Amino acid sequence: MIPLCIPNISGKEAAYLKECVDTNFVSTVGPFVSRFEQMVAAAAGTSSAVATSAGTTGLHAALLAVGVGRDDLVFCPALTFIASTNAISHCGATPWLLDVDRESWTLDPAVLAAAIDRETERRGSDLYHVDSGRRVAAILPVFTLGTPADMDAILDIARRAALPVVVDAAAALGATYKGRPSGALGADLTMYSFNGNKTVTAGGGGCVVGDAKLVAKVRHLTTTARVGADYDHDVIGFNYRMTNLQAAVGCAQMEMLETFLEAKRRIADGYRQGLGNLPGIGFFPDPEWTQSGYWFSGFVFRTADGAGDSRALRAFLRENGIDARPFWKPMHLQAPYANAPRSLLPVSEDLWERIVTLPCSTQLTDHEQSKVIEAVRLWHRERPR
């Protein structure tokens, strides 16, 4: 089976792990953790970073750090991975689901502005959702597929509404927006994931970058809110730190970041060239404001029965030894978020079932990619119409 997206462990991972074992630094204290934080901060275009046990835990702590609390609402796109909304829920808050923009598949600034203008009111320094009477505490844009959202527009709205912005940039390390790195776009905090299917992995893990004071707060919260070296804790904190073992793998992977990004770009280009002339097919977004991290490659069916075509093609590819998958099912269609407040979601609803993700591991060979392209073309030629 040609896999969808697997880790590429071909650098110094084993050597760095051995160093952890040899030096006895296997836990959350160790030199690789600080080195990893510095490497991620540099790649993200910031100077402050804190490594966490997962992207989800990093996002949870980041939302707490900007003041999200019990019964609050947080604006979030409906088309995302459930970790984004779960992190909001872990704060005791609820996502307010908004639609994505058709061109970028990221939070639509016009929908965000309309929700604020039409459905909220200001009481003192806070913003409230008129219908539920709940406070709106933050905006959480998601960099879908490694593609930055239109951050200038979103930050402008956020400033006017006096709302903090925490970005779920899980798969966007190495992406740029108007030439700037994805962690330096003006958000309060930005989270990256190092889960096994990301372009660079730590086996599992996350990293939160951004404003130095807020990053320090995240560090505090994720280290059991410990004050000093003894057993003093000033709030209810979390054991959310990354271990030196994870960071050792993460450092070896970060050394490969540019090589891996180049491979992801080459793979995305390969599919565009190999499949671009097929009728009824559109590619993943490539808005002019961004250089995506191209985390996943694939396409979207523009046909009348895009959902059926996507299902049938995926089954055909799997029968032929090629792993192809659907993409995120939007949050309002997930049991835990069926009753979350939301705007109309025509783009998310139309899009998600039409998407096909194709093999895009960084070690995918030209031969394997040609096999995928040929299989897609064969299915397209012979499918029942």
Ligand X SMILES: Cc1ncc(COP(=O)(O)O)c(C=O)c1O
Interacting residues toward ligand X by CB under 6 A:
54-56, 80-81, 83-84, 142, 168, 170-171, 193, 195, 206
Between 142 and 248, CB nearer to ligand X: 142
Enumerate the β-bridge partners of residue 239.
Answer: 223
Q: Name which of 355, 330, 291 is nearest 148 in CA terms.
A: 291
Which CB sits closer to ligand X, 85 or 176? Answer: 85
Q: 290-291 and 355-358: which strand pairing?
A: unpaired
Residue 328 beta carbon to ligand X: minimum distance, rounded to whole angstroms: 8
Q: Which of 221-251 are b and which e, b meaning 16 or more Cβ less than 10 Å from the residue's Cβ?
A: bbbbeeeeeeeeeeeebbebbbbbbbbbbbb
The one-letter amino acid code at 311 reads R
- How many Å apart are CA 268 and CA 286, to the nearest integer? 10
Smallest separation, CB 167 to ligand X (Å): 10
User: How many CA atoms lie less than 13 Å away from 272 in the CB half-sphere?
Assistant: 12
d(CA 368, CA 348): 31
Closer CB to ligand X, 142 or 173, in the complex: 142
Q: Quote the least distance from Cβ 244 to ligand X, whole Å.
A: 18
- CA-based nearest residue to 81, from 142, 36, 12, 16: 142
Q: Nearest CA to 40 among 23, 65, 58, 21?
A: 58
**Residue 9: CB minimum distance to ligand X, A:** 17
Per the CB < 8 A criterion, the answer to whether 189 and 26 are in contact is: no
Minimum CB separation from ligand X for residue 314, in Å? 19
Report the nearest approach of ligand X to the CB of residue 381 (Å): 34
Complex with ligand X: residue 52 or 310, whichever CB lies closer: 52
Residue 171 or 185: the one with the smaller Cβ distance to ligand X is 171
What is d(CA 20, CA 76) in angstroms, rounded to the nearest whole number?
39
Report the nearest approach of ligand X to the CB of residue 174 (Å): 15
CB of 192 to ligand X, least distance (A): 9
- Most distant CA pair in the chain: distance in Å? 71
**Minimum distance, C-beta of residue 142 to ligand X, in the bound complex (Å):** 5
Q: Residue 136 phi/psi, 5° resolution?
A: -95, 125
Closest CB to ligand X among residues 62, 281: 62
**Measured between alpha carbons, how far is 205 from 194 in angstroms, rounded to an integer?**
5
DSSP class per residue in 90-151: HTT-EEEEEPBPTTTSSB-HHHHHHHHHHHEEEETTEEEETTT-PEEEEE--B-GGGPPP-H
Q: Which residue's CB comes closest to ligand X?
A: 55
Q: Which residue is it, tokens 């949870």?
A: 60
Which of 163/242 has CB closer to ligand X?
242
Cβ at position 56, least distance to ligand X in Å: 3
Residue 54 identity (one-letter amino acid): A
State how far the Cα of 178 lies from the Cα of 109, in Å rounded to an integer: 17
Question: Residue 288, Cα to own-chain centre: how many angstroms?
Answer: 20
Q: Between 193 and 369, whose beta carbon lies closer to ligand X?
A: 193
Q: Of 116 and 202, which CB lies nearer to ligand X in the complex structure?
A: 202
Q: Rank residues 204 and 341 by Cβ distance to ligand X and give the closer one.
A: 204
Q: Which of 177, 181, 153 is nearest to 165 (CA)?
A: 153
